[in-house]
Structure 1
Amino acid sequence: MRRPSVRRSWYWPTVNFRGVKPVLMTPETEVGPWRVLEQRGQGSYGAVYRVERAGHPEQGPFALKLALHLNDPRFEREGELLSRLQHAGIPRLVERGTWEVQAGGGFPFIVMEWVEGVPLYEWAAQHPLTSRQALRLLAQVASALAATHEAEGVHRDVKGDNIWVRTRDAGAVLMDFGSAYYRRARVLTHQFPPPGTPEYQTPECQRYQWEARHQPSARYEAQPADDLYALGVTAYRLVTGRYPPALDMRVTEQGFEFFRPPRLPPEALVSVSPELAEIIQQLLSDDPSGRGTTQEVAEVLEHLAMTAGPQADHRITPLPARSNPAQPLQPRSSRAEAPWLAMAALVYLWIGAWWMKEGHVPVPEKVPQSQVHEQRDGGTVGLGAQVLASPPEARPDEPGMSGIALDIPKKPLPGQRLPPCERYTVEIHGGCWAQVSGAVSPCSASMYEWKKACYLPLIAPSRPSTSDTP
């Protein structure tokens, strides 16, 4: 019987191969021996397809990640690191190559084992979560990270979206090594911010970005401690439904300084076991050495998953409102959270300077921090991106609310937005300023004064991350 011809269907929306999406494939397209079944995701640099080996469907599905740009070197780096890793919690590399489409040009691809499952936060929203289950999942991720670090690699984008829980055995799998780096690998990111998702970046990374902001050639070198901190953020959000407060900045007479807003421990928010609460606090240490080594963390988590007390088998639930005045939201799928990013960015532009200058902790009931989440492409919220829906009402006993307002300086403040200014803002002395509605001289100490009106500086947002997370 004659075998029907294979339909090959792919297209370029642009003919010069320099567009954002130069090639997309439809079902039945063949890339070497791999036949496309369906597209399952797309990021900034690659698209993921469920494929099968042509002529051997009995082998089951595989995941093919295809570059969206000709000769993209990111895939060479990702494929090389995956080739060094053999771990149950990391997708196994099956093949890597280039889909040649013209002389000297093609689209790199990698083929991995197919992982049937859902992202971690989505899984937690669909299943009752206990502390023992959380410890077990985190132990599996830490073990995968230990293997990565042993191979001299750093993942650089550990988060709930990149940790999948397998359907068949509820095991955790560390996914998407598109932002990963290994020693002596080719450097691909030459500007800020470094790859990754801002909410998961370490204090040392955030400080470096600020201190080296005027050095175009500066580059942050991620370490295993960065992955461990991101695992701590993931764990905190997994059990509480919110992010821990990020490192903040405030204005002093000497300039800007960093400080850590008060962080409620997990046990103050939810009924988490003491063993899990303690390891989360360790992973979120501001001191990189205080987080421990990856292998130590993996071993401790595995030990705690087996030996934690009876409370570890109780479902994690929010504490009563009287014990928890800042009630956290329950974990939910990040697909439903992306719209909050646009709102957060808009609010950040208008009043970001207020909280940096005053150093206040955001009021959760205004805009809960758990509603400002990462996007699939690594996020768009920059350094210290914690926001308020509106400035809190001043009270006489609040620090910083008394005294004489500062005059607007003769030149822009560090990090201030420069002209052309946004709508509803004005240019004063080369910087963009927002007038505080209803506030007149004498202004509070949290504001700047100009011609008997009160203003706040507009802070320039950080550039979106380049993390590729299809």
Structure 2
Amino acid sequence: MGAWRVLEQRGQGSYGAVYRVEKGGHPEEGPFALKLALHLNDPRFEREGELLSRLQHAGIPRLVERGTWEVQGGGGFPFLVMEWVEGVPLYEWAAQQPLTSRQALKFLAQVASALAATHEAEGVHRDVKGDNILVRTRDAGAVLMDFGSAYYRRARVLTHQFPPPGTPEYQSPESQRFQWEARHQPSARYEAQPADDLYALGVTAYRLVTGRYPPALDMRVTEQGFEFFQPPWIPPETLVSVSPELAEIIQQLLSDEPSGRGTTQEVAEVLEHLARTAGPQADHLITPLPAQSNPVQPLRPQPSRAEAPWLAMTALVYLWLGAWWMNEGHVPAPGKVQQSQTHEQRDGGTVGLGEEVLSSPAPVRLLEPGVGGMLLDIPKKPLPGQRLPPCVKYTVELNGACWVPVRDAVPPCSASMYEWKKACYLPHVDPGRPSTSDAP
């Protein structure tokens, strides 16, 4: 491709593939990363390249060249060439070796500094997470990767409908509330701010040290419709032996109010200061504390082939039942939510520079009225929209309706499930029912 010789493909995402390349005739200059669009004339690459061209920071890959691979018939595939960053994703790095609070503070300070440079250039990354942060092999420095979802002021708008770019588990409370409140406004668009990146950095920090996500914002079904439900805050220091300085900054970054997180430059400076001055506990290894009422839960493994149909059906249940309630007009405008956060789920993951995640909003968990930690027994009658017998494969008939048994789940069931004879179930919603959308 022009002056670049492809050495190997290193990953592929939704909109681009990443190749390890070298400059033709100048292999001594070292390898570079070439990100090639998968779609003709993809405007995302123009936007990503423009923002990267404004950034000069040690924690951000340097843009070397941008252009288009022309093809016969007109048009072409845009590409970007950046410096090659040899390293390991942050979460993977932390899983391979011991981590101290001081090391975590240093990583977070370096990412915050890269974000400060991005925000100074009027950009917003919009997909900050551990999978988009590489720990550089040569010096263990943190590098913020994958600006495919990024946006800068006055850039061309490419996403005209929900969900906004990014990864649901890292979306800020204000983003989640906007998506909910504007769900019936097709032209509504959430304008990401630096505070959104700071919140995502807080989620990244919480998961880095605890191995789990902060308490998740849920929805519950009441007699009036849907309403937000915020579970209690679980301080990271109650789960792992994290230093008080790190615990405090994590809580600040996860503030419900954007102003409570501070400015990006302030956060970067505070983190750098804490990395230097934190007390002796910051040099102790971060380890799980003795089992408590909220023990540390490991990240969920990838489902096996045998489990995949069950998980897919569970997802359909959520989607169809949630859509039915919203389309039927049973959803009132929610009131103010206290410190909304994200679901504890495993990241879909990205492949370095090659991935741009445009995911669905944070999944909705359905809770029955007046229920706390566990749900009621299987109802006597079918739920609205629930499939009736004959039931299909992977489902069972209970009380005249079809239900999905949740494999390996045992009572007390989670808040999204029903209980029957010491097992947990989800309602199977019939995807064949006619549309209940409002008339135009």
Contact 2:130/2:204 (<8 A) preserved: yes
Distance 1:39 1:142 in 2: 30
Tell me the amino acid that sits aligned with residue 203 of structure 1: P
1:103-147, Cα deviation, whole Å (9 max, x unpaired): 531111111011010100011111210000000000000000011
- CA 1:459–1:141 in 2, change beyond 3 Å: closer, same or farther? farther
The correspondence for 1:149, drawn from 102, 119, 128, is 119
Contact 1:64/1:111 (<8 A) preserved: yes
1:259 to partner: Cα distance: 2.4
Equivalent residue, structure 2, for 1:466 = none
Tell me the amino acid that sits aligned with residue 192 of structure 2: A
Contact 1:34/1:53 (<8 A) preserved: yes
Equivalent residue, structure 2, for 1:360 = none
Tell me the amino acid that sits aligned with residue 375 of structure 1: G
- CA 1:398–1:292 in 2, change beyond 3 Å: closer, same or farther? closer
Equivalent residue, structure 2, for 1:215 = 185
Distance 1:436 1:337 in 2: 20
1:56-106, Cα deviation, whole Å (9 max, x unpaired): 111111111011111111100000000000100000011111111225311
Q: Are 1:326 and 2:291 an aligned pair?
A: no
Q: Are 1:201 and 2:180 an aligned pair?
A: no
Distance 2:317 2:394 in 1: 10
Equivalent residue, structure 2, for 1:94 = 64
The correspondence for 2:280, drawn from 278, 286, 310, is 310
The correspondence for 1:277, drawn from 237, 247, 263, is 247
Equivalent residue, structure 1, for 2:27 = 57
1:263 to partner: Cα distance: 2.8
- CA 1:385–1:50 in 2, change beyond 3 Å: closer, same or farther? farther
Q: Are 1:384 and 2:384 an aligned pair?
A: no
The correspondence for 1:83, drawn from 38, 53, 57, is 53
Distance 2:315 2:205 in 1: 26
Distance 1:314 1:58 in 2: 42
Provide TM-score, normalisation by structure 2.
Answer: 0.77
Tell me the amino acid that sits aligned with residue 295 of structure 2: A
Equivalent residue, structure 1, for 2:79 = 109
SS of the residue aligned with 1:102?
A: coil
Q: Are 1:373 and 2:347 an aligned pair?
A: yes
Distance 1:345 1:193 in 2: 20
Contact 1:318/1:328 (<8 A) preserved: no
- CA 1:220–1:422 in 2, change beyond 3 Å: closer, same or farther? farther
Tell me the amino acid that sits aligned with residue 267 of structure 1: E
Equivalent residue, structure 2, for 1:237 = 207
SS of the residue aligned with 1:86?
A: coil
Distance 1:455 1:315 in 2: 41
SS of the residue aligned with 1:109?
A: strand
Tell me the amino acid that sits aligned with residue 232 of structure 1: G
SS of the residue aligned with 1:290?
A: helix
1:180 to partner: Cα distance: 0.4
Distance 1:89 1:402 in 2: 51
1:254 to partner: Cα distance: 3.4
Q: Are 1:185 and 2:155 an aligned pair?
A: yes
1:245 to partner: Cα distance: 2.3
Equivalent residue, structure 1, for 2:227 = 257
Equivalent residue, structure 2, for 1:165 = 135
Tell me the amino acid that sits aligned with residue 327 of structure 1: V
Tell me the amino acid that sits aligned with residue 67 of structure 2: G
1:151 to partner: Cα distance: 0.6
Provide TM-score, normalisation by structure 1.
Answer: 0.72
1:459 to partner: Cα distance: 10
Tell me the amino acid that sits aligned with residue 290 of structure 2: P
- CA 1:339–1:124 in 2, change beyond 3 Å: closer, same or farther? farther
SS of the residue aligned with 2:71?
A: strand
Contact 1:90/1:174 (<8 A) preserved: yes
- CA 1:143–1:338 in 2, change beyond 3 Å: closer, same or farther? farther
1:404 to partner: Cα distance: 13
Distance 1:402 1:175 in 2: 46
Tell me the amino acid that sits aligned with residue 10 of structure 2: R
1:374 to partner: Cα distance: 2.5
Contact 1:269/1:324 (<8 A) preserved: no
1:45 to partner: Cα distance: 0.7
Equivalent residue, structure 1, for 2:259 = 289
1:218 to partner: Cα distance: 1.5
Q: After alignment, is 214-223 or 82-91 more displaced?
A: 214-223
Equivalent residue, structure 2, for 1:15 = none
- CA 1:434–1:147 in 2, change beyond 3 Å: closer, same or farther? farther
1:162 to partner: Cα distance: 0.5
Distance 1:204 1:67 in 2: 32
Equivalent residue, structure 1, for 2:314 = 347
Tell me the amino acid that sits aligned with residue 91 of structure 1: P
Distance 1:222 1:274 in 2: 30
Distance 2:54 2:303 in 1: 34
Distance 1:245 1:434 in 2: 31
1:346 to partner: Cα distance: 3.5
1:383 to partner: Cα distance: 2.5
1:270 to partner: Cα distance: 0.4
Q: Are 1:37 and 2:7 an aligned pair?
A: yes
SS of the residue aligned with 1:55?
A: coil
1:182 to partner: Cα distance: 0.6
Tell me the amino acid that sits aligned with residue 279 of structure 2: G
Any stretches of 5+ residues in structure 1 without a counterpart? 1-30, 358-368, 427-432, 438-445, 448-453, 461-470
- Across the aligned residues of Structure 1 and Structure 2, the Cα RMSD in angstroms comes to 3.6
User: Structure with the greater relative contact order (CA < 8 A, sep ≥ 6): 1 or 2?
Assistant: 2
Any stretches of 5+ residues in structure 2 without a counterpart? 331-342, 406-416, 419-424, 432-440
